[in-house]
Structure 1
């Protein structure tokens, strides 16, 4: 579980552990990871932490090796992603682009590629990636992030096509949720959550624990044995039914 120590990642890590998985939490934040593992174990689950920078291939290799210590890996969830704040394309920097690409599609690809032998050995396995409505709808001022998520969506479908014969299902989720980070920004000038929620049909983001994590757990489980190559929207209709205006976000035009 990449990015598994906080936000949506923490909720998913805990839910998978509740379902009986031995969860490997891959993250850079050791303190938040320790809190996550403590919560998992308090609930009777099993979890371990691997500190890794998903932009580094050697860290990814170490994380995959740790997660597959038993010789097989049944579920891979790729949630880690750097998010560049909304910005006009002409102001996007090389750093914005490189971080988005390195932590998004490149990291997702590397985790999938290095995990493939272990997923294949499991016989029946599942990969769940994260895409975004910003890519699917072409939301203005989200260039690097949208490009990264669009690439992950394409990668998901290619892998689903190639790996079905290996017993590996590959799907993606497209969430809109209220995480701790977003909650802390509500009311500040950086509050893009409220702007997005107001433009969405249900006027709110999902609860990570009760509305996002169960959907990911479903895709990871045998209940979704005939589901592959799909994007599950868990966004209250935001992607298909609304348009978000980021034009007044700080820094968009410099």
Structure 2
């Protein structure tokens, strides 16, 4: 099993869905965790479950990733508690998915850019001094919505493609400090997707049929364990890459 023993990992949106799966994978690998999000009750429940299931130390901090001062406070609290930071996982994102481009408002775009692109930028900037000390890594999240232009995902896709550009620049600028920066594009089963599956079974089946591996990813096993791998010495020469974890969707050379 991959090990993250002794490493400190900060995960945004770590209280549920893909973020919680990532937290589970890191907890199983022995990392000390900090999870953040906007809802205290979600974070408290997640932290309690992680500590009970894995025996790891887990701290939680509420914050809006689009709030520059709040992000600075999160990173400061992580350093105050653990004394270092080895990996930053920028997973959190909100958006008006399903709203067509012509119907989008500036507020809709601001939501996606603020919670996605700005949040990723703020966390990366604040984490940089500590990642420089640890020769750590950043794992950012983009989406097939941006790679292939999914209908009804204009602001979400724009934010995610912005994150990819930001990540490539960071990989180029921070390589000299031993910091790896990579992007994951997942297609994972989440509670929201489970609800969608129940409400639209025919559309769900059509979607599954279009995935070569015939399933959605498991957030812990298929997404989280790749994140853990990216923190290991075996991944030390991987940086600036976009890694698609979509079961073969959108195959490209």
Fold shared by both chains (TM-score > 0.5): yes
Residue 33 (structure 1) aligned with residue 54 (structure 2): no
Aligned position for 2:89? 77
In the TM superposition, 1:105-184 aligns within 5 A as: 105-122=117-134, 124-184=135-195
Residue 220 (structure 1) aligned with residue 231 (structure 2): yes
| Aligned residue pair count | 240
Aligned position for 1:201? 212
Verify the 8 A CA contact 1:185 1:191 in the aligned structure 2: no
Residue 9 (structure 1) aligned with residue 16 (structure 2): no
TM-score by length of 2: 0.89
Q: Distance in 1 between matches of 2:198 and 2:58?
A: 35
- Per-residue CA deviations over 1:219-243 (Å, capped at 9, x if unaligned) read 12222111111111111011337xx
- For structure 2, the 5+ residue unaligned runs are 1-10
- Name the SS for the 1:209 alignment partner: helix
- Per-residue CA deviations over 1:159-192 (Å, capped at 9, x if unaligned) read 0010010111000111001111211222326997
Aligned position for 1:244? none
Verify the 8 A CA contact 1:14 1:39 in the aligned structure 2: no
In the TM superposition, 1:94-105 aligns within 5 A as: 94-105=106-117
Verify the 8 A CA contact 1:212 1:234 in the aligned structure 2: yes
- Name the SS for the 1:186 alignment partner: helix
Residue 60 (structure 1) aligned with residue 71 (structure 2): yes
Aligned-pair Cα RMSD in Å = 1.8
Verify the 8 A CA contact 2:25 2:221 in the aligned structure 1: no
- Per-residue CA deviations over 1:92-115 (Å, capped at 9, x if unaligned) read 111210000001111101100011
Pick closer, same or farther for the CA change 1:228–1:121 going to 2, 3 Å. Answer: same
Pick closer, same or farther for the CA change 1:101–1:10 going to 2, 3 Å. Answer: same
How many Å apart are 1:195 and its aligned residue?
5.3
- Name the SS for the 1:9 alignment partner: helix
